[in-house]
Amino acid sequence: MAGTVITVAQQKGGSGKTTVAANLAIGFRMAGRTVALVDIDPQGSLGRWFMARAEDDPALVEGMEFSTSSAWGIPYECRKLSGAYDVVIVDTPPKADSDLRPALRVADLVIVPVSVSHVDLWATEGVLDLARREDKKTLIVMNRARPGTRLSVEVADAASQLEAEIAETQLGNRVIYAEALGRGRGAAEAGKSRARDEIEALTEEVARHLANG
């Protein structure tokens, strides 16, 4: 899977793009892969996360790299980074317009986080459509899941109607995800926890999707 590019995209703001990008990065690092992160979102949250991490302890960013890029500069940036890192993860702004195209075009896999609500799910079609036009594999990741609630069941049902693969692993609605992000950490780094199990499982699942082409 050397030099594989994963783009995280979803039109709906706050669906968990940056959370998934950062936590997958840590998941892959914990699995021994080197990881480059590219942020094309002018909000710059992923960069804040990475800088907090690097300032805390430079050892925490060994085998990692971070850069920003314009929407149109992404192919060049990814080409450069994919030669040097096992995995390149691209975080994108909450949009599904033509600006997103280059980031989809370079991707080996497009991950679409869906915060468990109907409104979030409705917003998903835009990205799925664009990805389909670029002939890209997509993987929906249910985020902020609350297992056992009627909402979760309804949204999962509605999601299965979409023409897209849905990850078996769901990320629960857990404070540790928000806390860890603010401290430049991955939720999996705080010792044994449900969140760590989720991130390990999601990382494995994503790696499997990449391996299956």
Ligand X SMILES: Nc1ncnc2c1ncn2[C@@H]1O[C@H](COP(=O)(O)OP(=O)(O)OP(=O)(O)O)[C@@H](O)[C@H]1O
Residues that bind ligand X (CB under 6 A): 13-19, 41, 43, 45, 94, 143-144, 171, 173-174, 177-178, 181
Least Å distance, CB 2 to ligand X, is 27
Smallest distance from ligand X to CB 42, Å: 10
Nearer Cβ to ligand X (3/68): 68
As measured in angstroms, the least distance from the Cβ of 70 to ligand X is 17
Q: At what angle do helices 17-30 and 45-56 cross, to 10 degrees?
A: 40
* CB of 18 or CB of 82, closer to ligand X: 18
Map the footprint of Mg ion across residues 10-69, applying CB under 5 A.
Answer: 17-18, 45
Residue with Cβ nearer ligand X (24 or 207): 24
CA end-to-end span of the chain: 10
Burial (Cβ within 10 Å: 0-12, 13-18, ≥19) of residue 114: buried
Choosing among Mg ion, ligand X, none, which partner's interface includes residue 14 (Cβ < 5 to 8 Å by kind)? Answer: ligand X
Q: Shortest distance, CB of residue 84 to ligand X, whole angstroms?
A: 25
The Cα–Cα gap between 19 and 8 comes to 10
Residue 66's binding partner out of ligand X, Mg ion, none, with CB under 5 to 8 Å set by partner kind: none
3-state SS class at 191: coil
41 vs 108, which CB is nearer to ligand X?
Answer: 41
- Pull the structure tokens for residue 200: 């390990």
Copy the structure tokens of residue 23.
């936590």
Residues sharing a CB contact under 8 Å with residue 121, sequence separation 6 or more, in sequence order:
114, 155, 158, 159, 162
Q: How far is CA 213 from CA 24, 129, 173, in A?
A: 19, 20, 30
CB of 175 to ligand X, least distance (A): 6
Residues that bind Mg ion (CB under 5 A): 17-18, 45
